[in-house]
């Protein structure tokens, strides 16, 4: 009997009522039994500073350990100025350093971008994928997930409100489950 894979979920928004966080929480409830989705907090990370590589702050060490202990990563992020939020980029940098000791290396990943706008965070999604290529994170190509017009994405019970979006996210998670199985440990 196989055990569930530990998926570190990185939410790119710090807002208390973030639609990205709400989606991540809804996905936790929908995940296949073979995947355990755990939100890894990034809001308490200090700004990455290479001068601290030999002795990083405790919050940075703890975060990097959580990523190292994960089997896979799932990013759920908004788009800020046609790119990823600075807090998300900081988290990526924190766990990738010092050079040659990246916690991201080889972890299967996927990206979901969420926005109240019509194009669903397209710019953030693609900028994030560009960074993940460099970090050797094999990112699931299909299905791509750009969730637009997301103002009422999640209902008061914490579930995805739209049947079509819920069905799409269920298929996304099933594809991600297969992606993780195929790419874990490569």
Angle between helices 19-30 and 163-183 (to 10 degrees): 70
Which helix (H) or strand (E) segment holds residue 90: the answer is helix 86-96
169 vs 148: CA distance, rounded Å: 13
**End-to-end Cα, the chain, rounded Å:** 21
What separation in angstroms does the CA of 45 have from each of 28, 60, 128? 23, 6, 19
Q: Tokens 């269920």 correspond to what residue?
A: 170
Compute the chain's Rg from CA coordinates. 16
Query: From the first residue on, what is the mean pLDDT of each consecutive set of 10 residues in the chain (186 residues)?
Result: 88 94 97 98 97 97 98 97 96 96 98 90 95 97 94 92 95 98 87
pLDDT value at residue 132: 97
Domain annotation for the chain: domains and CATH numbers: 5-49+56-183 (3.40.50.360)
Q: What are the tokens at 170? A: 């269920």
């Amino acid at each position: 009997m196989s055990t569930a894979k530990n998926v570190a979920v990185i939410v790119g928004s710090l807002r208390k009522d973030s639609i990205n966080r709400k989606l991540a929480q809804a996905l936790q409830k929908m995940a296949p039994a073979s995947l355990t989705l755990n939100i890894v907090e990034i809001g308490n990370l200090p700004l990455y500073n290479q001068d601290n590589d030999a002795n990083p702050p405790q919050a940075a060490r703890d975060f990097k350990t959580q990523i190292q202990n994960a089997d896979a990563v799932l990013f759920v992020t908004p788009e800020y100025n046609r790119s990823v939020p600075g807090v998300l980029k900081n988290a990526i940098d924190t766990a990738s350093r010092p050079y040659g000791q990246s916690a991201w290396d080889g972890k299967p990943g996927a990206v979901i971008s969420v926005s109240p706008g019509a194009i669903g965070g397209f710019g953030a999604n693609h900028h994030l994928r560009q960074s993940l290529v460099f970090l050797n994170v094999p990112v699931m190509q299909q299905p791509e997930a750009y969730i637009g017009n997301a103002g009422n994405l999640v209902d008061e019970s914490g579930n995805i409100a739209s049947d079509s979006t819920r069905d799409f996210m269920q298929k996304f998670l099933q594809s991600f489950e297969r992606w993780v199985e195929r790419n874990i440990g490569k």
